[in-house]
């Protein structure tokens, strides 16, 4: 794209937006930057701060140092990076709505998008093109105590909560890159971090493993699963069971961080967009097109393989270009 000066955005036809972008992680905001610079005046429905699944900014808001995003040789904090993405989208005229999409009707184009009451007879917004970038969220263990103790010693976000565990012994469950990243970060605060993993080898990449193994504040509890989280008003211990011997024991920790993977935020599209068995949206190969005309998907909601901020941003760019070309060929934008 060139740096041509902006002209006035086209008037929306009968109140129909050119593009609505659902979600505001790296994918959604990159789609916003590109579609705003293509003069499409996108509306970005960015999620709401109270919800962990669709909070504005996506998963990077729960991250600490991002060392692998190109352009930041000294690294950047996840939330800071997302603020920059958002400012860049706004600079070119993307409209940001801090709200949660409650329903979609993708039987168009034009397609309907509801915020607020999903039973309302008419959609709150309509758009010729919809870009879905709702991302993914943390998986939980499925234990009863999780709901009671989340925010009271139990966390899915080391960035948000690590500070509260200064000089304490805490645990991280999981054996992937997320678990290694969280455990390593948490040693900035905790006196000791025990990684509880259900197998005897990690899934994490070698560099992340090596970093964790080299950290003398991290110890590993292999072949163990968490069977209970103890404490009424705050977490006081974690019950684990050895998968080989069946023996249970209690880890005397004051914090537990869950880092066992993610689930795509695709419930909203059930029955309307094709999903894979694991829930991720299906897009055409090497493109962001879904099988529904005028609907595009990008970022973690359709990527169960790379799942990186930079690949999400790249696919957001693809979605904006795909949407722009589709709008033009369909005679809309």
Per the residue annotation, which of 54, 161, 300, 303 is the catalytic one? 161
Interaction pattern, residues 259-278, with ligand NAP; x per rule: CB under 6 A: -xxx----------------
- CB-wise, 205 or 249, nearer to ligand NAP? 205
Sheet holding 255-258, edge to edge: 154-155, 255-258, 169-173, 192-196, 218-221
By the rule CB under 6 A, 181 interacts with ligand NAP: yes
Q: Which of 28, 102, 58, 99 is nearest to 262 (CA)?
A: 58
Minimum gap (Å) between residue 186 Cβ and ligand NAP: 14
Rounded distance between C-alpha atoms, residue 40 and residue 320, angstroms: 10
- CB-wise, 152 or 198, nearer to ligand NAP? 198
Rounded distance between C-alpha atoms, residue 66 and residue 218, angstroms: 21
Complete DSSP assignment for 104-159: EE-SSSSEEEEES-TT-SS-SEEEEEEEE---EEE-----THHHHHBTTTEES-HH
Burial of residue 308 (CB within 10 Å: 0-12, 13-18, 19+) is middle
Q: Are 246 and 161 a contacting pair, CB within 8 Å?
A: no
- CB-wise, 105 or 177, nearer to ligand NAP? 177
Contacts to ligand NAP from residues 126-155, by CB under 6 A: 141
Q: Is 161 a catalytic residue?
A: yes
Query: Among residues 25, 78, 174, 299, which is the contact residue for ligand NAP, using CB under 6 A?
Result: 174
Three-state SS for 165? helix
Query: Among residues 84, 152, 198, 211, which is the contact residue for ligand NAP, using CB under 6 A?
Result: 198
Query: Among residues 173, 186, 317, 319, which is the contact residue for ligand NAP, using CB under 6 A?
Result: 173
Minimum gap (Å) between residue 136 Cβ and ligand NAP: 9
Q: How many CB atoms lie within 10 A of CB 250?
A: 12
- CB-wise, 35 or 59, nearer to ligand NAP? 59
Contacts to ligand NAP from residues 292-311, by CB under 6 A: 307
Q: Are 241 and 247 a contacting pair, CB within 8 Å?
A: yes
Minimum gap (Å) between residue 258 Cβ and ligand NAP: 9
By the rule CB under 6 A, 177 interacts with ligand NAP: yes
Which range, of 11-19, 28-36, 168-176, 248-256, touches ligand NAP by CB under 6 A? 168-176
Minimum gap (Å) between residue 177 Cβ and ligand NAP: 4
Minimum gap (Å) between residue 307 Cβ and ligand NAP: 4
Burial of residue 84 (CB within 10 Å: 0-12, 13-18, 19+) is middle
- CB-wise, 199 or 325, nearer to ligand NAP? 199
Q: What are phi and psi of 228, to 5 degrees?
A: -160, 150
Per the residue annotation, which of 65, 105, 160, 304 is the catalytic one? 160
Rounded distance between C-alpha atoms, residue 58 and residue 78, angstroms: 10
Strand partners, 103: 114
Q: Which of 308, 266, 320 is nearest to 29 (CA)?
A: 320
The residue number with the shortest CB distance to ligand NAP is 176
By the rule CB under 6 A, 234 interacts with ligand NAP: no
Q: Are 60 and 82 a contacting pair, CB within 8 Å?
A: yes
Minimum gap (Å) between residue 199 Cβ and ligand NAP: 5
By the rule CB under 6 A, 203 interacts with ligand NAP: yes
Enumerate binding residues for ligand NAP (CB under 6 A): 141, 173-179, 181, 198-199, 203, 205, 225, 260-262, 307
* Catalytic (active-site) positions: 157, 160-161
């Amino acid at each position: 794209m060139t740096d041509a000066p902006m002209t006035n955005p086209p008037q929306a036809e009968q109140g129909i937006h050119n593009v609505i972008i659902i979600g505001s992680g790296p994918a959604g905001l990159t789609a916003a930057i590109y579609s705003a610079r293509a003069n499409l005046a996108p509306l970005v429905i960015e999620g709401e701060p109270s919800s962990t699944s669709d909070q504005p900014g996506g998963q990077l808001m729960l991250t600490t140092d991002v060392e692998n995003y190109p352009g930041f040789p000294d690294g950047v904090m996840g939330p800071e990076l997302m603020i920059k993405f958002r400012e860049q989208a706004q600079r070119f005229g993307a409209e940001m709505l801090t709200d949660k999409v409650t329903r979609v009707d993708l039987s168009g184009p034009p397609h309907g998008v509801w915020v607020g009451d999903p039973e309302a007879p008419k959609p709150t917004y309509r758009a010729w093109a919809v870009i879905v970038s709702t991302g993914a969220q943390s998986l939980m263990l499925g234990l009863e105590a999780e709901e009671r103790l989340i925010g009271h010693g139990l966390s899915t976000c080391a960035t948000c909560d690590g500070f509260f565990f200064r000089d304490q012994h805490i645990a991280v469950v999981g054996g992937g890159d997320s678990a290694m990243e969280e455990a390593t970060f948490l040693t900035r605060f905790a006196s000791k971090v025990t990684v509880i993993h259900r197998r005897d080898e990690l899934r994490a990449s070698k560099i992340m493993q090596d970093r964790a193994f080299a950290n003398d504040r991290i110890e590993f509890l292999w072949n163990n699963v968490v069977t209970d989280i103890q404490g009424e008003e705050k977490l006081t211990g974690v019950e684990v069971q050895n998968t080989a011997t069946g023996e249970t024991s209690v880890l005397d920790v004051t914090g537990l961080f869950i880092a066992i993977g993610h689930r795509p935020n695709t419930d909203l599209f059930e029955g309307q967009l094709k999903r894979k068995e694991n829930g991720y949206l299906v897009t055409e190969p090497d493109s962001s097109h879904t099988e529904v005309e005028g609907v595009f998907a990008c970022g973690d909601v359709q990527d169960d393989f790379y799942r990186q901020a930079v690949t999400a941003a790249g696919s957001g760019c693809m979605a904006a270009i795909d949407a722009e070309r589709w709008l033009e060929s369909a005679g809309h934008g």
